[in-house]
Amino acid sequence: MIDWQASISILQAQGVLVYLLRGVVFTLVISVCAVLVSLCIGAVLALVRNYCTGRTRVLKWLSTAYIELFRNTPLLFWIFICLVFCPVPQFLAHRMLGLTSVEVRILFRAFVALVLFESSIMAEIVRGGLNSVAPGQFEAGHSQGFSTVQIMRYIVLPQAFRAVVPTLLSQVISTIKDSSYLANVAVIELMSRVRQILATSNVYNGAGTQLVSDVFVLFGLAFVIYFVLNFALSCVVRSIQKRKPRQAARPAAARS
């Protein structure tokens, strides 16, 4: 049965939009935190995979195994694995952010799964940036008296990250979309909240029963929110990509 007016009235019910907007906030917070933590872990993995040789070669093998294992397996698999086996720190076993202790534990485990998965992808992105830095940069740094750590910190890593900014932002978009998988373990992000409201839509639509149009309205709203967020980030990525060729052309014009 389709009754658009009754389904749209769900969004006008007291607290529904606020509940969904809180889901948007949780989605953004989870995604941003996952990207930042994954970027840090991914950078370490990329450095180890690229530059550990000799006696530390075993670290390179472990890094490669980690990257290939998580990058070539589905995120949903690791969400369920972490949900069962991931330990939760004691300080997280309490209510916080308006969530029950059970929800906090589930959120932490789902977040760990997201970080494990995304860090393997971030590692390959950063490694691509490292490979774009000319080997002569190391020689130039050593000739100026820099140590290897200083060369990596002040010369190589800034250039590598600058080269992969558009790709990193594209991965942020993917992470926001990937966070919807967390709805499968009843985490409080946007898609989970949409499903919870849909399960009780008969209470809000005034029809006394669930309507087909409820699905279109609620999931349509989720579609619009995801599209607006990701399209805005896509526009930022495109503007950065357009700006980079111009910036590269200026030094060339100055040399000529």
Give per-residue pLDDT as tens, 125-154. 999 888 888 878 777 888 888 887 888 888
Taking the C-alpha atoms of residue 207 and residue 209, their distance in angstroms, rounded to an integer, is 5
Residue 48 has pLDDT above 80, yes or no: yes
Percent of the chain exceeding pLDDT 70 equals 92
SS3 content of the chain, % helix, strand, coil (to 5): 85, 0, 15
Split into its structural domains, the chain has a count of 1
Taking the C-alpha atoms of residue 83 and residue 240, their distance in angstroms, rounded to an integer, is 38
Taking the C-alpha atoms of residue 49 and residue 42, their distance in angstroms, rounded to an integer, is 10
CB distance 86 to 112 below 8 Å = yes
pLDDT tens readout for residues 210-240:
888 888 999 999 999 999 988 988 888 888 7
CB distance 225 to 24 below 8 Å = yes
Taking the C-alpha atoms of residue 129 and residue 157, their distance in angstroms, rounded to an integer, is 8
CB distance 216 to 6 below 8 Å = no
Residue 253's Cβ-count burial label (10 Å; 0-12, 13-18, 19+) is exposed
Domain holding 39, by residue range, is 4-255
Position 68 scores a pLDDT of 94
Taking the C-alpha atoms of residue 79 and residue 194, their distance in angstroms, rounded to an integer, is 20
Position 239 scores a pLDDT of 83
For position 228, which CATH number holds? 1.10.3720.10
pLDDT tens readout for residues 76-130:
899 889 988 888 887 776 776 677 777 788 888 888 999 999 999 999 999 988 8
C-alpha distances out from residue 125 to 50, 87, 88, 117, Å: 12, 29, 29, 13
Backbone angles phi, psi at 29, to 5 degrees: -65, -45
Radius of gyration over every alpha carbon of the chain, rounded to an integer in angstroms: 23
Selected residue with higher pLDDT from 246 and 151: 151
C-alpha distances out from residue 160 to 25, 45, 155, 225, Å: 31, 14, 9, 32
